[in-house]
């Protein structure tokens, strides 16, 4: 469940409830730089866990170059302790098989490893999710390098069906 600009928190909470009612597991996204205050973050997180039984969340820094509130990146959200206080059991974090515009490849690996360790130290499971890709090859290469670094956490990727495929 994405965290789009301009959406009201009540709409996101209602969407999480509906996903649960339809028999699916809601996994709301938290875009750190789009959150205006710590109170807003805590209130929204508490509502989706209480009203929709959310147990897994996905955290990202978000697109804005300047934060709209106190959180500069996903690590800042994780560091609050709010996820574990609200019963979250797994945190999804971004992987970057095709690189990151603001980090070197080595910085990406260090940040990813650090986030995984921080999430685990807080009693939750890290889930690595890659950005949308049109070619599976870079993702598969990245997964090989991820495993070679000893990182065995679950990973997921968004690769669309190739044009002309019948699915």
pTM of the entire predicted model = 0.86
Is the Cβ–Cβ distance between 1 and 31 less than 8 Å?
no
Choose the weakest-confidence range: 63-72, 133-142, 150-159.
Answer: 150-159
User: Could you say which DSSP state residue 162 is in?
Assistant: P
pLDDT for the residue numbered 158? 55
Q: Integer distance in angstroms from the first to the last C-alpha of the chain?
A: 23
What does the alpha-carbon distance between residue 30 and residue 144 come to, in Å, rounded to a whole number?
28
Q: Which residues contact 68 (CB under 8 A, 6 or more apart)?
A: 33, 34, 35, 36
154 band by pLDDT with thresholds 50, 70 and 90? confident
153 band by pLDDT with thresholds 50, 70 and 90? confident
Sign of CA dihedral 9, 121, 107, 80: positive
The three-class DSSP label of residue 30 is strand
């Amino acid at each position: 469940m994405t965290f789009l600009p301009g959406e009201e928190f009540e709409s996101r909470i209602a969407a999480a409830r509906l996903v649960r009612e339809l028999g699916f597991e809601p996994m709301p996204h938290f875009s750190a730089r789009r959150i205006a205050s710590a109170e807003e973050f805590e209130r929204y997180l508490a509502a989706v866990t209480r009203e929709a039984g959310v147990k897994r969340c996905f955290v990202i820094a978000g697109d804005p170059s300047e934060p709209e509130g106190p959180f500069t990146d996903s690590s800042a959200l994780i560091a609050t302790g709010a996820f574990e206080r609200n019963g979250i059991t797994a945190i999804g974090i971004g992987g970057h098989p095709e690189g990151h515009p603001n980090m070197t490849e080595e910085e990406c690996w260090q940040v990813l490893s650090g986030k995984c360790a921080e999430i685990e130290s807080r009693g939750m499971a890290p889930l690595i999710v890659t950005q949308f890709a049109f070619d599976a090859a870079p993702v598969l290469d990245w997964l090989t390098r991820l495993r070679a670094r000893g990182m065995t956490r679950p990973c997921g990727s968004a690769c669309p069906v190739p044009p002309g495929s019948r699915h």
